Amino acid sequence: MSLFNSSSPALNDRVFEAARNASLSSDSIMTVRGTVHKTLLLLLLAVLGASYTWQMFANAINPNVVMPYMIGGLIGGLVFSLIAIFSPRRSVWAAPLYAVCEGLCLGALSAMFNAQTNGIVLQAVGLTFSVLFLMLALYRTGAIKVTDKLRSGIIVATGAIALFYVVTWIVSIFTPLTFLHDASPLSIGISVFIVIIAALNFLVDFDFIDRGAQAAAPKYMEWYGAFALMLTVVWLYLEMLRLLSKLNRR
């Protein structure tokens, strides 16, 4: 297992190996503190974007007015995430644009969930950041060590979930998969499993960023590391929303 392997689609061996080599001639290197600051900035941009579509939904006579922003944010987020993943140097501007687009999409989607179940968004946000800080505490105290075996297990589980998403999306085109969206024990169990794997991704991401800083990666990798953490935060938040929605229907 390579030193810089990660389960995150944005944090992979190729990216940091290239960055480490490039950093040999650079005086400006990646730090954990710098990555934290940029992560906070991306979170702020996402919140600002989400606030805009949330308010638009709340004030609109026709709630469908937010649909173009939600779809546009989803597409924009996908485009900018791919740019950042395949060209880490461009994450300096692609990561902030990704955060804004995701914010627009999540704000509209969250408002729709909240209209169905009042207070669910606040619960999902609280749980998401509680899990984030819990994982950070477990990582920093060494209560959970990111070994090669653990890293490999998370990689396999995350890949399996990604494949599950794709397969179920294709199948749902031809036949409804109600068991994925109802409040049955099976559906809730699937959501709980995905939430656990998403949470464990934080551990691997923290470890990956630490190793990048130790390897003296270039400064722009702070943006890349912050972007990768944002991917996990967004994923966990969406799965928390889905899980809470199912639990509230029981």
Which tens digits make up the pLDDT trace of 1-17? 333 334 455 555 555 55
Eight-state DSSP code of residue 218: B
- Please compute Rg for the chain using Cα positions: 19
Residue 182 — very low, low, confident or very high, per pLDDT cuts 50/70/90? Answer: confident
Query: How is residue 98 written in tokens?
Result: 């990704």
Q: What is the mean pLDDT of the chain?
A: 87
* Neighbouring residues of 179: CB distance < 8 A, sequence distance ≥ 6: 186, 187
* Neighbouring residues of 63: CB distance < 8 A, sequence distance ≥ 6: 57, 111, 112, 115
- Which of the given ranges, 43-47, 63-67, 214-218, has the highest pLDDT on average? 43-47
pLDDT reported for residue 25: 45
Chain-centre distance for alpha carbon 23: 27
How many Å apart are CA 237 and CA 154, to the nearest integer?
Answer: 18
How many Å apart are CA 37 and CA 35, to the nearest integer?
Answer: 5
Statement: residue 202 has pLDDT above 90: yes
pLDDT reported for residue 62: 82
Statement: residue 132 has pLDDT above 90: yes
Statement: residue 207 has pLDDT above 80: yes
> Which of 101, 103, 98 lies closest to 51 in space, CA to CA?
103
> Which of 50, 97, 7 lies closest to 237 in space, CA to CA?
50
Distances (CA, A) of 11 to 51, 179, 207, 224: 29, 32, 11, 8
**Using CB atoms within 10 A of its CB, is residue 47 exposed (0-12), middle (13-18) or buried (19+)?**
middle
